[in-house]
Amino acid sequence: MPDSENPATPVTFPPAFLWGAATSAYQIEGAVREDGRTPSIWDTFSHTPGKTVGGDHGDIAVDHYHRYRDDVALMAELGLGAYRFSMSWSRVQPTGRGPAVQKGLDFYRRLVDELLAKNIKPAITLYHWDLPQELEDAGGWPERDTAYRFAEYAQIAGEALGDRVEQWITVNEPWCSAFLGYASGVHAPGRTDPVASLRAAHHLNLAHGVGASALRSVMPARNTVAVSLNSSVVRPLSQDPADLDAVRRIDDLANGVFHGPMLHGAYPESLYRATSSLTDWDFVLDGDLELINQPLDALGLNYYTPSLVSAADVSAKAPRADGHGASDHSPWPAADDVAFHQTPGDRTEMGWTIDPTGLHELIMRYTREAPGLPLYITENGAAYDDKIDSDGRVHDPERVAYLHGHLSAVRRAIADGADVRGYYLWSLMDNFEWAYGYGKRFGAVYVDYATLERTPKTSARWYGRAAQTGTLPEVEAV
């Protein structure tokens, strides 16, 4: 299958390109009450009636805590070269304060050792949304102290694993933590306060900065520190000036609020103006921007679908088609007069339009935004309604086509001069998909939730061949 955007683009990737898969702790580990682990905000949220589809929760998830050796063996069988996983803060440092629990750290030590024994590079994400509940009870991310608690946790993790793990990511998708967690309330902790969400965004930025410094203070200089952002590709419905202004405002809230201070040491002035009716940003203290603006060794980009926006009549009542769940409260502070529209094209089970051109656009934007900074695609993937056939196989040609299209976009970006060094498929296996429970399957490996048996889907075999050869097999070959 030729590259539909540019048939001349080579399909061979650089020899050092990392082919990986990604997961997060609460979505796969289970064992929520074992070995000293205390509740996180997602334990609390998922056990609150009405917060997740079917009342689903991660108490068992896919039991990776007990099955990690089998899961690593499966990665090795598929030929993956890297595995990005997150640590559970409350498993390592119960309640988010005080000394580490060695049994919690030992789990991650065993996992890392198993990966290294199979020649799979571990990449650790320190924070993938599972704040210890006691820190939320003390105010959560809207409170400044939470950032400094995170730095202590980062130091614990770096001291324990920095000798064997070279790739580190501070926080994953801080936009979701701040705005879905504290503005729209569709994610844990389920709060709906737009001012709190902006405070949370700043303190997540601060956590990244002080966390990066804490990691570097205890790790070998060879190790790399990055952050993973779900930066949005925001497009206008028309070229009308009002629609273009809507793009700028959403771009500030989706992207500039994080990459501004992280990459450039400043928030966009237009963000301050647009949110002035809510806050004067007095929670940004002297010296904060310098703390946040730490040198990065790489930038992780997570991409699923573009956004299409226009100016809107605030009196018009219509569902907000931004792809971030249903809520009467917006995750976009001070932007109620912006409308989101469904982009045209085929969609995944999440209702997200499939558009590889957005991934190419995103990569090239950050190639310009941060010249010289290596990039990784730390999440990209699709949910489909996968079923086991009568012969015990899971055939998912839609996902194969999705991966081929998006990996082709990555290869085009490399050909266009982008320094993209790896790709982490989301996700290694089906798991607890946050507020959607177990109803959305993103995995390359099918999980029978009754038996927890793992079955590689057609896409897993296809992706494994790509990882082993550095080229994209034909879609028709699956």
Cite the active site residues. 173, 379
Cβ atoms of 341 and 237 closer than 8 Å = yes
Report the distance separating Cα 179 and Cα 232, nearest Å.
14
Cβ atoms of 420 and 365 closer than 8 Å = no
Q: How far apart are the first and last CA of the chain?
A: 12
DSSP string for residues in 450-466: TT--EEE-HHHHHHHHH
Cβ atoms of 394 and 385 closer than 8 Å = no
3-class SS of residue 181: helix
Sign of CA dihedral 91, 92, 98, 103: positive
Element (H, E) at 378: strand 375-380
Helices (H), 222-355: 241-251, 257-259, 269-274, 288-292
- Strand ranges, E, within 90-236: 121-127, 167-172, 224-229, 234-236
Is the preceding peptide bond at 427 cis, omega within 30 degrees of 0? Answer: yes
